[in-house]
Chain A
Amino acid sequence: MIEKLPFRAGDRRARELETLRASARKSPGDPAAAAALAQAYFDMAQARSDPRYVGYADAVVSQFDHKLSIDLLVIRGTLYQYRHDFDKALVDFASALAQDPDRADAHAWRGAIYLVEAQYDNARRECAALLKLQRPVLHGGCTGLLQAYTGQLNSAYVTLQQALAMARYDDQRLWLLTRLGEVSAWLGQNARAERHYRDALALGLDDSYLLAAWTDFLLDNKRPTEVVKLLRDWEASDPLLLRLAEAEILLQAPAAKAHMQALDDRFAAAKLRGDTTHRAEEARFQLRLRKNPALAVQLAAANYQVQKEPRDLRVLLEAALAAGDAAAAKPARDWLQSSGFEDARLRALATQALQSAPASKTPMVAP
C-alpha cells in the first residue's frame, strides 16, 4: 500500500458525495446542485479538519463567477472566512443578506467574524438580528461570546447556559458546552469547566476545536498525561499535534522530538505555499517548544492583526513577555483595557509584559 484514502468507494459518505457530484455534473450551472455539493465538501472539511475539501468546495463555487445564488454566496463567504479572508467573507454575507435578510446563517457567520476581529458593536448588531429572526440558540451563542469578550463573564455564563437549555441538536450543544468550559476556566472555576468539557466530550462527536480547548485547559492545569492519551490519534491535525507535543515535552516523552520535527515540516510546508492561517499555532510552537521568543513575537503580532480572540491575545502576551518586547504587548494591553475582558491570568500577564525590560526570561509553558 502506498496511500490510504479517506473512504472506501462503498462507504456511505463516499456514496453520498458521489451522488451529489453526479447531480452537479448532470446539471452544470444549476446553483442548487452546486450548493449542495459545496456544502457537503465544506462540512467534510470541518468534520475531518481536512483543507483539501475546502479547495474542492471552492472549485465548485468558482464555476459561478459572478451571479451567485444566495446559498452559494453564503458558502463562498464561509470558504473565505476559513482562509481568514474576512473582508471578502463579509462582502459575500452582506450580498446574501441584501437578497434575503432572513438568512440566519449569514448573520451568525458575520457575528463570528466580528467577534474574531474584536468589532463588538458590529457583532452586537448580528446577535440582535438573530434574536429578531427567532433563532434563540444562535442568538444565545452569539451574545454569550460577546459578553465574555467584553468583560461580562458571569452574564456570558448565564446566557450560554440558557442557550444550552434550548439547544436541540448535539452539535449545537457541543459548541455551547465548549464555550461554557472556556468561560468557566476564565472565571477560575476549574471544576465547573471540567464538567462542561466532559459533557461535551460525552456527546461522542469529533470536534477539533473542543479537543484543543480541553487539552489547553489540561495543559494549563499541569495534566499532560491526559493530553497525550487523548490526542494520540490526532497527529493529522496541526493544532492538536502542537498540544500533543507540548504535553510530551512536559513529560519528557521520547515521541516529542519526532512530533516537533513533524510540526517544523508542516509549518515549512505551509510557508512554501504562502499559507498564513496557522500563525497563532506557529507562534506558540516557536515560543513554547522551539524556545525562540523573538520569532514567536513576530508571528503572534502578525496573527493579532487578523485575529483578536483571547487565545490570540494570550500567545502575543506570552511571547512579548518572553522576548522582553513591551511594545509588542501594547495592542493586547489596549484591547484588555477597552474590552474589559476579565480573565485574571491574562490581566496579570499584560501587566508583566508591559513592565518587562529585555530580559532572558524563559517562556512560560503552563503559567
Chain B
Amino acid sequence: MTRRLVWLLALLLCQATAWAHKASDSYLVVDAQGKQVTGQWDIALRDIDFALGLDGDGNAEITWGELRARQSDVSAWALSRLAITRGGVCPIEVTGLQVDDHTDGGYAVLHLRGECPGATGALGLQYRLLFDLDKLHRGLLRLALDGATYTTVLSPTSGVVQFGATQTSRWAQFSQYLVEGIWHIWIGFDHILFLLSLLLPAVLVLHMRRWQGVGSFGSAAREVLWVVTSFTAAHSITLSLAALGLVSLPSRLVESAIALSVVLAAANNLWPVVEHRRWLVAFGFGLIHGFGFASVLAELGLPADALVLSLLGFNAGVEVGQMAIVAGFLPVAFLLRNTRFYLRGVFVIGSWLTMLVALIWLLERAFDLKLVSA
C-alpha cells in the first residue's frame, strides 16, 4: 500500500533467472561415530558471494574457477561459524569441495572431517553461518549420532544445540556455556587487564607515599576477595539484564568505557587516588564489563528453551576463569611483593604498559580507528 520505489525497466529484464526465490538455507549433514565426525555442508553460492564476494570479474556469473580460487577463504569462513563438541571441541577441516544444485540454485558442497576428544556422550553443535548478514537464514541439520538420527532447523535463537544423552542434556547445556564463559574471560584481554590492574596493588600497601609489601597473606587475600567478589556481582547483574533483553547500551559506548576502565585502574596504581575502596571501583566498572560479556553471549546465542540455565552456566564460567587467574596470581605476587622486580617491574612498568595498551584501545574504540590491531 505504501509507495514503493520505481525501478528502471532495464533492471527488471535481467530477472529471468530460472531459479526459485526462497529464503536462504544451508544443508548440513553430520555423521558422528564415536570420536570420528564426517559431514557434508551445502551452502548456496549466492550466500557465499554475499558474505565473501565470489564474482571476481563482476559479470554476475560465478564460475567453478572463481569458487576454486577462493576455496580456502570459503572453508575458513564456514568453519569459523560452526562448532561441534563432544567431550571438548572437535577440530573440523574441509577435505573437499564440490558443486551441486538445489531448488534455488547452485551450492558449494563442503566435505567435513574431524575428530572429537570424546567418543561417547552428548554432541553439542553451534551454528552461526550468515546470521550476522541474513536473519532469515536457517541451517537445516541432519545428524546421525552413533546410529540415531536427529533433524533440526538452526536459527539465530538456537544457540548451542545438544544431541544424544537426553538425561544429561540440561547439565550438558549448562556445562557447554560454562566452558564458553571460561574461554571468553581467557581471551578477553581487556577484562583480564582490568582485573589485574586492581589486583596488582592487593599485595602492597601505600606507606608514606611509597608502595611496600603487605604484612600478612590474609590481608592480601581479603583485599583480593573483596575486589573479585564485587567485580563478579556487578557484571553478573548487567550481564543478566542485557542477556534477557531488559537493558541495552550501544556497543561502541560499552567497549570504549571498558577500555577507559582499564586506563583508570592502571593509572590509579601510578598516581593513587582510590586506595582503600578498590572494591567500589571494581563494582562500578564491573557493571560496564557485564555489558561486554553480554555482547559475547549475544553472538553465541542463548537457546530459548534453556535461557536461564545457559546464562547461569556462562556466568559461572566467567567466574571460574577469573578464579583461575586469581589463584595463579595471588601466591606468586605475595611471594614477590617485596622484591624490586615486583615493585618496579611488575607493578610500575606493568601498570604503565597496561595503561598505554588500554589508551590505544580507548582511542580505537571511541573514534572507530585502527591503530595497532589488524
Binding site for B on A (CB under 8 A): 1-13, 28-29, 43, 46-52, 54-56, 58-59, 62, 65-67, 83, 105, 108-109, 111-112, 138, 141-142, 169-172, 175, 204-206, 233, 235-238, 241, 262, 265-266, 269-270, 272-275
Contact = CB atoms under 8 A, between A and B. Distances in A.
B203 to A, nearest CB: 41
B3 A171 contact: yes
Contacts of B49: 3, 5
Contact of B6 (A5, A10, A138, A170): A170
16 contacts: A3-B45, A3-B106, A9-B60, A29-B250, A62-B135, A169-B6, A233-B15, A236-B17, A238-B21, A238-B22, A266-B20, A266-B22, A269-B22, A269-B104, A272-B25, A272-B153
B45 A56 contact: no
B140 interface: yes
Nearest to B142: A272
A275 B135 CA distance: 14
B1 A236 contact: no
A175 B99 CA distance: 41
Interface in B9-58: 9, 11-12, 14-25, 45-47, 49-50, 55, 58
Contacts of A112: 1
A180 to B, nearest CB: 15
Contacts of A13: 7, 11
A67 B250 CA distance: 9
A303 B58 CA distance: 42
A51 B105 CA distance: 14
B15 A206 contact: yes
A54 B23 contact: yes
A76 B59 CA distance: 33
A241 to B, nearest CB: 8
Contacts, number: 171
B62 A1 contact: yes
Interface string B352-374: 00000000000000001000000
Interface of B: 1-9, 11-12, 14-25, 45-47, 49-50, 55, 58-64, 67, 99, 102-106, 131-138, 140, 153, 245, 247-248, 250-252, 368
Given A59-B133, A171-B4, A233 B16 contact: yes
Contact of B138 (A7, A138, A238, A273): A273
Contacts of A170: 6
B328 to A, nearest CB: 36
B17 A2 contact: no
Given A51-B136, A55-B23, A5 B55 contact: yes
Residue among B19, B21, B25 facing the most chain A CB atoms (10 A cut-off): B21
Contacts of B14: 6-7, 11
A270 B15 CA distance: 22
Contact of B23 (A51, A169, A235, A262): A51
A62 B1 CA distance: 24
B248 A12 contact: no
Given A3-B46, A9-B55, A266-B22, A109 B135 contact: no
A231 B336 CA distance: 82
Nearest to B105: A3
A170 B22 CA distance: 27
Contacts of A169: 3, 6
B58 A9 contact: yes
Contact of B62 (A3, A55, A58, A141): A3
B136 A58 contact: yes
Contacts of A236: 15, 17-21
A71 to B, nearest CB: 13
B132 A59 contact: yes
Contacts of A175: 1
B103 A266 contact: yes
Nearest to A28: B252
B223 to A, nearest CB: 37
Contacts of B46: 3, 5-6, 52
A55 B67 contact: no
B17 A108 contact: no
B58 A10 contact: yes
Contact of B140 (A10, A206, A273): A273
